[in-house]
């Protein structure tokens, strides 16, 4: 796989040594067992896969290159490049400005943007409508486009099956940049509807079989269907694609459910499935699968707590936290500063979308066992700093230094 020129401040000697050792021993990435780091009276259980994925490293390289290649020019990001506050802050520090926020609210008026400016397309991609606005201003949206190749793969698959006569069902968060982009690209070719979760998928199933009045569809799925969508005709042949950072098992469950509903309703023989339901399993992102699989492998170990590191608006990170919290106390943090002390932690509750403070999060007994993973937009350097902070708070600085030296010689 291609390597990227990622700024040194995002790299970690400790994490890099661990990843290289695991990669050499498991080239096919089939072993999801975690790495166990014994640091004195602290044991860190580190997920097999975590941190920057291919698409994120690609986006970072392009964005920093855009800055370097255009001294003196105004440089804009259409919205947050990735969902990591540190990386976005670094770009802002270099003079990059955001045109809109993550939900599409304008921060800069389009009238301020001219053909002399540089506009970077974020890793989530963007809508065809916004691409057209840029072209009308004389800006080539492809010049510094950082759209993840795996997101583009979803778009291409949606176009292909859409041209084959299927309606597209997108599993995603309706307001997320990637889902908005995928919806835009898909509806250009075929009727498209977005489902947020299994609950909405089950409601859609009732429209497929005619158990709900067609007219109510347009209120229930307001803002989530393409113009001209005909609920009485457009759910007869479907294919499911996803926002690549969703919980892979949920996407598969939604696809399996809708497939069973449509095949039963239209009485389709097992060998005639493709007449009504398109195979789209190849649209699941490798990094999403790897990171979630690694968390499942990590959870087979015993631990006191789990720390999940990433931006609080990061979809893929939130799903890692959901997986962890099914087994043990889990704290979703965005950096090492959230570990306020050995007794107090600041963290995020993705269910209520609020920041909380929790006391006595670290047990008094030793050794303390902490599971650690991070989202696909989280730098390895940040994971290292969290481990360092844990070592300081548990009185294991010397032990961490010894481990660091040992890893340096691997």
Provide the edge-to-edge strand list for the sheet that holds 97-98: 97-98, 75-77, 118-120
CA angle 367, 372, 375 (to 5 degrees): 175
The DSSP annotation for 337-352 comes to GGB-SSSEEEEEETTT
Nearest to 373 by CA among 298, 300, 271: 298
CB 276, CB 263: distance < 8 Å: yes
CB 399, CB 42: distance < 8 Å: yes
Inter-CA distances, 327 with 22, 302, 306, 390, Å: 25, 10, 9, 21
DSSP 409: T
Q: Return phi, psi of residue 198, to 5°.
A: -65, -35
For residue 178, indicate whether it is catalytic. yes
CA pair distance 39, 265, nearest whole angstrom: 58
The residue from 57, 80, 131, 178 that is catalytic is: 178
First-to-final CA distance of the chain: 22
Q: Return phi, psi of residue 128, to 5°.
A: -65, -30
Beta pairing, strands 118-120 & 75-77 = parallel
CB 66, CB 139: distance < 8 Å: no
Instruction: Name beta bridge partners: 170.
Output: 194, 241
CA pair distance 353, 164, nearest whole angstrom: 40
- Residue-level length of the chain: 410
User: In the numeric block, which tokens belong to residue 218?
Assistant: 């347009």
User: In the numeric block, which tokens belong to residue 313?
Assistant: 């608006």
Dihedral sign for Cα 314, 320, 326, 328, please: negative
Inter-CA distances, 120 with 74, 107, 112, Å: 11, 15, 16
Residues assigned a catalytic role: 178
């Amino acid at each position: 796989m291609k390597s990227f020129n990622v700024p040194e401040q995002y790299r970690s000697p400790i994490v890099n040594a661990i990843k290289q050792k695991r990669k050499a021993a498991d080239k096919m990435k089939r072993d999801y067992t975690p790495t166990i780091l014994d640091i004195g009276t602290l044991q860190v259980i580190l997920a097999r896969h975590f941190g920057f994925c291919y698409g994120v490293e690609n986006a970072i390289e392009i964005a920093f290159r855009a800055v370097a290649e255009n001294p003196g020019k105004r440089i804009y990001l259409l919205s947050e490049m990735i969902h990591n506050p540190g990386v976005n802050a670094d770009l802002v520090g270099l003079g990059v400005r955001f045109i809109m926020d993550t939900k599409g609210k304008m921060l800069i008026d389009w009238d301020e943007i001219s053909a002399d400016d540089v506009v970077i397309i974020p890793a989530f991609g963007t809508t065809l409508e916004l691409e057209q606005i840029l072209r009308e201003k004389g800006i080539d949206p492809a010049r510094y486009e950082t759209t993840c190749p795996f997101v583009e793969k979803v778009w291409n698959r949606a176009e292909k099956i859409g041209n084959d006569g299927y309606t597209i069902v997108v599993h995603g968060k309706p307001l997320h940049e990637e889902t908005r982009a995928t919806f835009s690209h898909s509806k250009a070719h075929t009727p498209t509807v977005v489902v947020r979760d299994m609950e909405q998928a089950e409601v859609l199933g009732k429209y497929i079989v005619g158990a709900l009045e067609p007219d109510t569809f347009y209120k229930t799925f307001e803002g989530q269907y393409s113009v001209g969508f005909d609920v009485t005709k457009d759910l007869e042949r479907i294919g499911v694609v996803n926002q690549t950072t969703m919980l892979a098992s949920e996407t598969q469950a939604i696809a399996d459910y809708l497939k069973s509903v449509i095949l039963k309703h239209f009485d389709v023989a097992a060998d005639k499935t493709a007449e009504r339901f398109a195979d789209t399993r190849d649209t699941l992102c490798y990094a999403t699968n790897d990171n979630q699989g690694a968390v499942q492998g990590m959870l087979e170990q015993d631990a006191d707590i789990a720390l999940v590191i990433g931006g609080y608006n990061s979809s893929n990170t939130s799903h890692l936290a959901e997986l962890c919290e099914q087994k043990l106390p889990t704290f979703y943090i965005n950096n090492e500063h959230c570990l306020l002390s050995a007794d107090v932690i600041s963290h995020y509750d993705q269910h209520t979308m609020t920041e909380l403070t929790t006391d006595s999060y670290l047990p008094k007994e030793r050794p303390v066992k902490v599971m650690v993973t991070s989202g696909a937009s989280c730098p390895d350097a940040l994971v290292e700093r969290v481990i360092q902070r844990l070592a300081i708070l548990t009185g294991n600085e010397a032990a961490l230094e010894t481990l660091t030296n040992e890893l340096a010689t691997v």
